[in-house]
Amino acid sequence: MNAGVILAVAHNQPVMKLLITNGTIIRWNAQHRVEQLEQHHVLIEDNRIRDIVAAVPTNFEPDETIDASGCAVIPGLINTHHHLYQSLTRCLKPVQNAKLFDWLLGLYEVWRRVDFEAVKLGSQISMAEMLLSGCTTTNDMFYVYPRESDVKAEAVIEGAAELGMRIHAGRGSMSLGRSKGGLPPDDVVQDEKVIVKDCERVIEKFHDAKSYAMTRVDLMPCSPFSITFDLLKETRALGKSRHVLCHTHVAETEDENKFCIEKFGKRPVDYLASADWAGPDVSWAHCVCLNSEEIKLLADTKTAVAHCPSSNMILGSGIPPVCEMLKANATVGLGVDGSSSNNGAHVLAEARQALLLQRVKNGADSFTAEDALRIATLGGARLLNRERELGNIAPGFAADIAIYDLNTVEFAGAAAQDPLGALMLCHSPRAKFVIVNGKAVVKYGQLATVYLQGLVTKMNDLVKRRFR
């Protein structure tokens, strides 16, 4: 590649300027405390934020202006755990009331029917729902590669690019089939050599290590009960050598703890740690069933947690010790988890769920609206090792912003008291505008990048034909 030519083209391209005017800006100050600026303006150049000002400089001539009068303007929300394809099987009737292992056993039978087109469509439905809720960056762990299927990581990555969503696409995996003592049926797990080779291929083809990258590839073996120890170690070594993040499920239920003690003689956290699965480039989803030593291990190793309250509640998994984790200074991000367990993907509503669930256990003053916004923005950015470019509205940060109209029935009265409190304590409607990487992908509460109703119709047809 001739870098000189690329630079010359970039230099000649005009800078696109976007102005967000007259909003109530809710952002983080240098001490990472929430700060509210009334009637301020956000100046955006190309894909990043140039400044936040009380008066727009006369020499800033925007190509596009968004009027945010009467709106809250917050950092784009970050979703740190998902299985996007699972909207194909949300509300599947036979498992609506099942706990994790039974729920999985029922779903594997349906998930073995996935192919490229189904995964792409299901993923786009999940991402569309998230974008409309104000989420700008998502994780995805896609781990079901049935033997006869044409599915590839491209299904999710292409889907995200078409919608304009920032993604950490996880090359997920399962290698421990039922015949070897694992939970999934043998025909939905893959050979370990095939998995490692494809992880390398996907990193090579799609991982963008540069700042403000729209697509990164992370490695995401599914769980201790669907992966061999050798594959865990090998995947982690690959992640370290290629400088990509590693993410897996850990300690989601007491059944999982029991399974690991019986099969490996260790609790899941010890098992993962013994495979080198801890560190600032590692995150664990759920962590519902942790003891105090395990929380200390998280904090000491700077391993991050993706907290998924709705999923934990729907599957009856328990209440994760999030307040204890935060008290120990561990990094906690927010996740909606797959659409088959959450059944929804509204990330702002999920922040409210986090607040409610911690209060059930720890009392009314244990988890504030600010805490909820923190895990949904800063915590997620830190989990993704991107705290200098995502999760805040500040000069130099990526232009990822969610804008909510406060003049709605859901917020009436509340927004006049406290806009942040309204966002986190009231029932949230859709975002009015959502900016990802400097581009408005949601305008007036509608997706601007794809024809959503077309996707919805296609999705309902497909589910009726193949995923019931």
**Binding interface with Zn ion (CB under 5 A):** 337
* CB 251, min distance to Zn ion, A: 12
Amino acid at 466: R
**Percentages helix, strand, coil for the chain, rounded to the nearest 5?**
40, 20, 40
Q: What angle do CA 151, 385, 152 make, to 5 degrees?
A: 5
Closer by beta carbon to Zn ion, 41 or else 81: 81
Torsion angle in degrees (nearest 10) through CA of 340, 343, 349, 352: -70
Closer by beta carbon to Zn ion, 73 or else 285: 285
Residue 97 CA to residue 218 CA, distance in Å, equals: 32
* CB 285, min distance to Zn ion, A: 5
Closer by beta carbon to Zn ion, 111 or else 212: 111
* CB 249, min distance to Zn ion, A: 5
The sign of the CA dihedral 360, 362, 364, 369 is: negative
330: left (phi over 0), alpha (psi -120 to 50) or beta: beta
* CB 214, min distance to Zn ion, A: 23
Closer by beta carbon to Zn ion, 72 or else 227: 227
* CB 311, min distance to Zn ion, A: 7
Closer by beta carbon to Zn ion, 25 or else 322: 322
Structure tokens at 401: 């912003």
Chain centroid to CA 303: how far? 16
Closer by beta carbon to Zn ion, 218 or else 337: 337
* One-character DSSP codes across 183-235: SS-GGGS--HHHHHHHHHHHHHHH---STT-SEEEEEEE--TTTS-HHHHHHH
* CB 252, min distance to Zn ion, A: 8
Q: Which of 342, 411, 347 is nearest to 373 (CA)?
A: 347
What are the C-alpha distances in Å from 448 to residues 182, 199, 286? 43, 32, 33
Q: Torsions phi, psi of 174, nearest 5?
A: -140, 130
* CB 66, min distance to Zn ion, A: 34
Amino acid at 405: D
- The bridge status of strand 17-28 relative to strand 34-45 is antiparallel
CB 172 within 8 A of CB 115: no
Q: Which of 164, 153, 125 is nearest to 340 (CA)?
A: 125
* 3-state SS, residue 345: coil
Closer by beta carbon to Zn ion, 190 or else 248: 248
Closer by beta carbon to Zn ion, 21 or else 253: 253
* CB 89, min distance to Zn ion, A: 13
Residue nearest to Zn ion (CB): 337
Closer by beta carbon to Zn ion, 45 or else 254: 254
Closer by beta carbon to Zn ion, 245 or else 441: 245
Structure tokens at 163: 């919608």
Amino acid at 418: D
* CB 312, min distance to Zn ion, A: 10
* CB 464, min distance to Zn ion, A: 25
Residue 166 CA to residue 455 CA, distance in Å, equals: 20
Which single residue is written with the structure tokens 């929300």? 77
